[in-house]
Structure 1
Amino acid sequence: MGGSTFSIRRRIFALAVSLLLVAALALAAFIHDYAQRAADRAFDRLLAASALTIAGAVQIEDEAVLVELPFAAFAMFSGSDRLFYAVRGPDGALVTGYDDLGAELAPATSAEPVFQDLSYRGETLRLASVGRLLSSADAAAWVTIRVAETQNEREALSAEILSNAMVPLAALTLLAIGIVWFGLGRTFAPLSALEQELRARSPDDLSPVTVPVPAEVSQLVAALNLFTGRLRLAIERMSGLVTEAAHEVRTPLASLRAQAEIAMDEPDADRLRKRVARIHQSAAQASQLVSQLLMDATISHRLEMRDARPTRVDALVEEVRGRLDAAAAERLDVFISDEAAEAELLADRVAIREMLRNVVDNAMLYSSGLVEIVAGMSEKQTVKLCVQDRGPGIADGEKDAVLERFKRGSTGEGKTGSGLGLAIVKRVVDSHGGTLQLADREGGGLVVEMELPLLRTGSVGQAASHVAAASILLVGLLLLPVQGLANETRYPALSPSFQGERTLTIVGTTDTPLFAHFIEGFQRTRPDVGVLYRETDTLVMYEEFLDGGIEPKPDLMISSAADLQLKLANDGHALAHASPHLATLPAWARWRGEVIGFTFEPAVIIYNPRLLAESELPRTHLRLAELLEEQPERFRGMVGTYDIAKSGVGYLLAAQDQLISSNFWRLAAAFGRARVHLSGSSPDILDRVARGDLALGYNVLGSYALARQAAGAEIGIIVPDDYVLVLTRTMLIPRDAPDTELARAFVDYALSPQGQSVAAGEVALGSIVPGSFGRFTSEAISARGRGAIQPLALGPSLLVFLDQQRRSRFLATWREIVSPR
């Protein structure tokens, strides 16, 4: 390329930097400092308020420091920050919270908040320390309260202030845009010359572009020159092929015409027969050439389409034999080992058949004796197809040449042929990842060895369509699922890739038959992925994960106990995922991109219609308490609810009930008098109510109840008229997940319209994304009751109920009231 080059970037930089650099940097530094100080002041006050709120709840009881964490202490926080806290007694011993938070810091000796930055669990936290002076019988002493948060939100606020305070820079920016516009007009002038050069060229001018261009465009021009070079070579190859084909066809046609003209004037019958024989030979040669050219074009098209399917070796050989005429078929002997007969190739059936037939036809043409096809397995576990004849063979110096187009060996003189047969064979073998070798046969003759890779062992092959494969898989799951442990189910890939099946490991609390619908839908989008699903309980999953006892390690954890999932994320065990569907979720159903909800599940009251009349149905929480108080003997042992000490979701719902309802402990007392049946799961309560063992079930997940009712179970569902707790089943990707790419893909599917239609369908888990389609959308479920919808928002406030002391005191009070026996 001629001419000098210059940089557009440098020209723009030279025009703009002189006006922007000094003013913009100085003003931006001032605004940044101001924004940082303003954000720190705002969030430090929030931290101090949280610490002082906890300090106000600290008390001494029986000479022990106690604190029941107030809900407001964490409810004031929102957004994407992680929270940590610790309360330490006068002796430095942990009362509640995180034992390793600020353990090395000096105790607080003042009620004034003290702030500092602290490195904790790989992040920089802002820590507020507050003292609370308590007096006991002996003396007064200081209790230390520490609350810390990550700094994402304050950094976001600082960035917002910075972005909103850049008005002084706007004028400079507009000025810079004008300068850049002017500069670009001058800088891109050389490109106009390039455009004119290309427009002025004739269609057959594929020579390199030599117009001087800027350095930034030189690579584009170089790529254009490379492309035109490749195009020129392709045209030359095409022209060469047409020329060669025309030459090869012209020769037999010219001979055919000459022989026919001579034969027309030949009076002698013997000579006429010889002329006719030559005409026939020329016609056969032309016909052979045309057939081979057409086959060459057909094979080229099929190889480009890549229509590979499982093909058995024995069936392939039999198909080739069946296409021979009777005389040729009698000359063909086939020897196939038992192992090779059962083997399958992943190949284009037509291409591989014509490849083998070409070799057999050549062997028949050049030899008069038997031709053998020998199929066996090689040491590399590939199929080796050998075609052997007793013909003249091919000289060693010609073995490579005869694999080229229109090239024939010296032994082919006098034989009808086109020189395309072995070239076609080589192309087919190469495209299937195999090898081709021409070898001399012991005792005379030629051996053509074709070695082809097998279809991967255990593969289900390529299905006729993904829909058919999905149907087969679903039937297999219903009739004969592949079971591992009692609570594990494996779902093989619909169509494994050549690299093998990838496995997504999910641990979840959703019933396997319900979750199978999500797995089936996901595998339609990713047929190369197998899924291992392990069903467990909420609290068990949480504790096993912390103990490192989940094997194999999960790629994705799914739980209805959102508070336990949030605790794992807050403690740094989760990866964030910026799903493209995240913005469609309600704000309450996502936190930091680490805990993501995908269902809409109300807590409902269920009943047996045979045991409870329509007129006496308890449609509010208060009415349920009154009903149990009015008829204690009737409902003794006939009411079921969660055992909140064993069920994570049961504890979450009970804690939220206690927070919202002033009648919660009255209802708990009514449960105690009625000797309520405590269960670890909704399905157990549903089974007992449907059988009539229980008349009522409280705080049952509406998703399970709606699914059972839709399936014909004899249960009624009450969506309370006072308030309705709604939780969302959450997804979390562990930080040490073996395959995060598959986990992210499943999260994206669950939030997509396809995944939400599954949730809104027969599984009845409820779609959380507004505007979804199906019977059980969030809008349709909300319309079933008249009560206020109270979603359990994913946020720091959920951590309050997991505080060790608060949980312990709550459970102790619950046991004392509900199940004192």
Structure 2
Amino acid sequence: MSAAKDRSGKSFSLRRRIFALAVVLLLLAAVVLIVFIRDYAERAADRAFDRLLAASALTIAGAVQVENEAVVVEIPFAAFAMFSGGDRVFYAVEDPDARTVTGYEDLAAQMPETASAEPSFTDMTYRDETVRVASIGRLISTPSDTGWVTIHVAETQNQREALSNEILSNAVLPVIALTLLAVGLVWFGVSRMFAPLTELEHELRTRPPDDLSPITVPVPIEVDHLVSALNAFMARLRNAMERVSGLVAEAAHEVRTPLASLRAQAEVAMDEHDPEALRRRVGRIHQGAVQASQLVSQLLMEATISHRMDNREIETTTLLAVVEEVRQRLEPEVQRRLSIMLKPEATAAPLRGDRVALREMMRNIVDNALIYSTGQVSIEGHVVGDMLVFSVSDSGPGIDDAEKPLVLERFRRGKASGGTIGSGLGLSIVSRVAEAHRGKLALEDREGGGLTVSIAFPLLRRAAGALSLAAAVLLTAPLLLTNPVEAASTLYPAKDGNADTVLTILGTTDTPLFAFFIEAFQAQRPDIGIVYEEWDSLPLYQGFLEGKLGREPDLLISSASDLQLKLANDGYALGYDSPYLADLPDWAHWRSEVFGFTFEPAVIIYNPHEIAASEVPRTHLTLAELLETQTERFRGRIATYDIALSGVGYLLAAQDQTISSTFWRLASAFGRVGAQFSGSSPDILNGVAEGSLALGYNVLGSYAFARQAEGASIEVVVPDDYVLVLTRSMLIPRSAPHPELARAFIDFALSPAGQAVAAGPTALGAVIPQGTGEWTSEAIAARGRGAIQPIPLGPGLLVALDTLRRQRFIDTWQEIVSPKP
């Protein structure tokens, strides 16, 4: 016996030692190699991106200047243009007294000062993300002092992790392939060694399903224990099947017994001549039929509820509707036994779940109360905190405390139910429905005798403001609402009258134009109501940061994409991988957080009655020359954006200054003619159309094309030297109450249907190429001969928003365009 055990033990361990040991060694070698490769990949990625961080910090350091013994720095565009665009970028510049000159003060507060011109690197957690910070010092000297200016540049680590993973994956694939090949060869060798096992497999595969007899095929001693265990398992399985077969037969017998009893009672009743005896016999038949019918009905209902619970049939109803539906199914004399007392807040409170399951739950509770008691049955409902509580009380025999947890199980009934027809399934159904709807079921003794069944359901989370708004959505036409801040709101009720789903959008697009998008979106989603508030770009950005918008937006839409990008960079945006993201040009989205959906060139507009076609300036240089040579003619009759008030105006001016060598010459020409400045395109369009203005510069082409199509007295010039193109961008705030609705609108705006609206009546331009409509990106580009220069959504936009750089740019602009006498 001992020798057999030794032999079998050696035989079993032989296969394991050959295969398992070989595999373990191969895997261990592969793991060691992968760890080494991963370390190398991380170090390589860090070196590459650290050089970029250091270069960015050095570029900023090179721009540090001293004016009037104060440190000033104008962040160069190249400082951020070198980044990949997939990471968030932060920076801070501190003077020798540790005061933040520009950038993010909270970043500077977490970093020490630097007194070295050599860059140093630190990993830290900033704004809930791990960032890599490059710090460098710049020595400055003034007549009164000498000190170090500290520059910090921080970048999140998504792209360096992506590079590390790419290096790792490219190197690991061959390692994995070789390891798998080696494992395969080992397995092949072991399989050949144990070829006799194939005979055992053939024996098992060719057996009929009911053959559970022991295996008698000769097998190698290496698998002797396996065959023995398999034979023992089949023996246990054979015994189990015999027990199941006996159980099925017994159940069939139990079912046949009541049916046979009913049949026998009916046959005896057929031969009964005594009317009184016949009546008693029929009564027993009826009682048995009722019990059988109730059992079958409860089983079918339990199966139905199980199916609906699995399929999550969700809709919104109210406690009053559920109670009323159960009451109406009762006979009139039984209805009079019900006493319904629902508090007003409980009557109107929404109940989210499966209506049929909730009805059957209520019906079972009420039926039990009516069956086990002869007096009044009271149904009460009220709201306690964030819970909707209802209870059903009767004056019946009640349930002993020891039996209360038991009666919630299937086919279990309390002692007090003796002599009463029942199936033992009612309270188990109630328990399951309550649990599926996150409710809390309690069985309590009623004061004075009887039982109280109470269930508490969590209320839907909805603010009071949302409730009043939902009530307003029941109206049939858009309404103008007032806002305590600055913007006027427009309410577009859901087409199907649904008052529960309202999407709040705050944007800078003119309401009549944006209404086309809303109408097309609601044609696809008639269940969604929309509140749209029209803002100017800069107040929208500042109001969001300061929490002074008056309402919490689900979606922010702005033509000032640099401000949108800064919100996303500073961690205020939710990411979303839209299925249409792959169709967007790379320049029109950033980090799956900011999405462009229009294609809008910055154009020149003019009144054809004021400027002849032959003298129309078609480039930025010819516009400057026209204003320089005909100053008095155009004095006070040229308009453009006020870049201090308009976010989109500042964005366009900053891009002009980067691209055009004639920008400041053009600004000087604006100053000579006393140009007018406005915060929005419509004001400039109105002035040109009315003739009070002769020409408007850097007007959004979308507005210009739309007004021209309406018959306004304006002409549009798409410049022949270069054309700046911006895209209105969307982002979902992290604080959005309904981000799922915002995602649905983003999907629509980027879909062919949404792009058709942009390329159609709005004239905002379709950003996705190869669209259909009059205002596709290709059609707009064809209107001019200049180079199309989209303003890309990326970290480069943050440079122009640097506080110090922005203020210096605006000061220089105002000094040139509004010279003091």
Q: Same fold (TM over 0.5)?
A: yes
1:451 aligns with 2:455: yes
Cα 1:283/1:36, change in 2 over 3 Å: closer
1:761 aligns with one of 757, 760, 764: 757
Residue 377 of structure 2, aligned match among 372, 380, 383: 372
Amino acid at match of 2:390: K
Superposition RMSD in Å: 6.5
Q: Would the alpha carbon gap of residues 649 and 103 (structure 1) be closer, same or farther in structure 2, given more than 3 Å must change?
A: farther
**Which of 253, 256, 259 is the equivalent residue of 2:259?**
253
Q: What does residue 263 of structure 1 align with? A: 269
Query: How far, CA to CA, are the matches of 1:147 and 1:353 in structure 2?
Result: 67
8 A Cα contact 2:730 2:746, kept in partner: no
Aligned-partner SS, 1:374: strand
Deviations 1:440-478 (A, max 9, x none): 673x7x445343426537589x99xxxxx9999697893
Task: Report what 1:657 is aligned to.
Answer: 656
Is 1:332 paired with 2:344? no
Distance (Å, rounded) in 2 between the aligned partners of 1:796 and 1:379: 50
Corresponding position of 1:815:
814
Aligned equivalents of 2:30 and 2:444: distance in 1? 74
- Give the distance between the partners of 1:45 and 1:311, measured in 2 at CA: 61
Shift of 1:379: 5.6
Pairing 1:469-508 to 2, within 5 Å after superposition: 478-479=478-479, 481=481, 483=483, 485-487=485-487
Give 1:12's aligned residue.
Answer: 23
The answer on whether the counterparts of 2:42 and 2:161 sit within 8 Å (CA) in structure 1 is no
Q: Distance in 1 between matches of 2:357 and 2:629?
A: 83
2:356 to 312, 330, 350: 350
Report the counterpart of residue 640 of structure 1 in structure 2.
639
Alignment of 1:441-590 (within 5 A): 442=448, 446-453=450-457, 455-456=459-460, 458=462, 478-479=478-479, 481=481, 483=483, 485-487=485-487, 560-562=559-561, 579=577, 585-589=584-588
Is the partner of 1:181 in helix, strand or coil? helix
With over 3 angstroms needed to count, the CA separation of the structure-2 counterparts of 1:650 and 1:456, relative to structure 1, is closer
The 3 A distance-change label for structure 1 pair 116 and 440 is closer
Gaps of 5+ in 1: 108-113, 207-224, 464-468, 495-500
Q: Letter of the 2:339 partner, please give it.
A: V
**8 Å CA contact 1:359, 1:387 repeated in 2:** no
* 3-state SS of paired residue (2:757): coil
Equivalent position of 1:215 in the other structure: none
Residue by residue, what CA displacement relative to the aligned partner does 1:133-164 show, whole Å, maximum 9, x if unpaired? 99xxx9xx999999886689999699799959
Aligned partner of residue 486 in structure 1, secondary structure: coil
CA offsets, 1:710-739, max 9 Å, x none? Answer: 778765433223321123445689xxx865
Rounded to whole Å, the distance in 1 between the matches of 2:710 and 2:79 is 44
Distance across 2 between alignment mates of 1:405 and 1:785: 78
Q: Which moved more, 1:279-288 or 1:752-761?
A: 752-761
Larger displacement relative to structure 2 (507-516 or 702-711): 507-516
Name the counterpart of 2:604.
605
Q: What's the offset of the Cα at 1:776?
A: 4.6
Task: Decide whether the 8 Å contact of 2:552 with 2:737 is kept in 1.
Answer: no
Match of 1:386 among 392, 400, 403: 392
Q: Distance in 1 between matches of 2:21 and 2:745?
A: 46
Question: Residue 263 of structure 1 aligns to a residue in which SS?
Answer: helix
| Aligned positions of 1:145-294 closer than 5 A | 178-183=181-186, 185=188, 250-268=256-274, 270-294=276-300
In the alignment, is the contact (CA less than 8 A) between 2:477 and 2:492 conserved in 1?
no
Q: In 1, distance between residues paired with 2:163 and 2:303?
A: 63
Give the distance between the partners of 2:517 and 2:322, measured in 1 at CA.
40
Offset at residue 701 of structure 1 (A): 2.2
Partners of 2:176 and 2:304 lie apart in 1 by: 61
> For the residues of structure 2 that align with 1:365 and 1:353, how far apart are their CA atoms?
18
Aligned to 2:443: 437
Describe the shift of the 1:97–1:156 C-alpha distance in structure 2 as closer, same or farther (beyond 3 A). closer
Shift of 1:790: 1.5
| Partner Cα separation in structure 2 for residue 263 and residue 158 of structure 1 | 85
> How far off its partner does 1:479 sit?
1.5
Mapped to 2, the partners of 1:195 and 1:482 lie a distance apart of 80
Q: CA deviation at 1:53?
A: 8.0
Partner of 1:297 in structure 2? 303
Percent sequence identity over aligned pairs = 47
Q: What code does the residue aligned with 1:820 have?
A: P
Letter in 1 for 2:679: G
Measure how far apart 1:789 and its partner are: 0.4
Equivalent position amino acid for 2:455 in 1: E
Q: Offset at 1:698?
A: 1.2
Q: Is 1:697 aligned to residue 696 of structure 2?
A: yes
Distance of aligned partners of 1:643 and 1:407 in 2 relative to their CA distance in 1, 3 Å threshold: closer
Q: Shift in Å at residue 604 of structure 1?
A: 1.5
Report the residue type matching 2:377 in the other structure: E
Q: Is the 8 A contact 2:493 2:530 kept in 1?
A: yes
SS at match of 2:644: coil
Alpha carbons 2:688, 2:714 under 8 Å: kept: yes
Moved more, 91-100 or 712-721: 91-100
Decide whether the 8 Å contact of 1:20 with 1:176 is kept in 2. no
Q: 1:252 & 1:791 partners in 2: Cα distance?
A: 83
Quote the offset at 1:697 in angstroms.
2.0
Q: Give the partner amino acid of 1:653.
A: L
| Kept after mapping to 1: 8 A contact 2:552/2:735 | no
> Which shifted more, 771-780 or 143-152?
143-152
Mapped pair 1:320 → 2:316? no
Counterparts of 2:46 and 2:365, CA distance in 1: 79
Local SS of the residue matching 2:685: helix
1:676-707 CA-to-partner distances (Å, cap 9, x unmatched) read 21012324323444555434321012344455
The 8 Å contact of residues 638 and 693 in structure 1, kept in 2 or not, is answered as yes
User: Does structure 2 conserve the Cα–Cα contact (< 8 Å) formed by 1:86 and 1:145?
Assistant: yes
Unaligned 5+ residue runs, structure 2? 1-8, 213-232, 495-499
TM-score by structure 1 length?
Answer: 0.67
Q: Distance in 1 between matches of 2:423 and 2:433?
A: 18
Residues 13 and 749 of structure 1: CA distance in aligned 2, closer, same or farther (over 3 Å): farther
Give me the TM-score of the superposition, normalised by structure 2.
0.67
- Tell me the equivalent position of 1:221: none
What do the CA deviations read for 1:376-416 (whole angstroms, capped 9, x no partner)? 437675343325356x6667766665554445556655555
Q: How does 1:790-805 map to 2 (within 5 A)?
A: 790-793=789-792
Could you tell me whether the CA contact under 8 Å between 1:320 and 1:353 is conserved in 2? Answer: yes
For 1:334, give the aligned amino acid.
S
Please give the per-residue CA displacement for 1:511-547, whole angstroms capped at 9, x wherever unaligned: 6776788899999999999999987655567778899
Q: Distance in 2 between matches of 1:33 and 1:457?
A: 48
Q: 1:388 to 1:807 in 2, by over 3 A?
A: closer
Shift in Å, 1:640: 1.6
Distance 1:16 1:421 in 2: 57
> 1:722: which partner in 2?
721
Partner-residue secondary structure (3-state), 2:453:
strand
How many residues align structurally? 756
Contact 1:384 1:450 in 2 (8 A): yes
Counterpart contact for 1:577–1:744, Cα < 8 Å: no
Inter-CA distance 790–426: structure 2 relative to 1 (3 Å threshold): closer
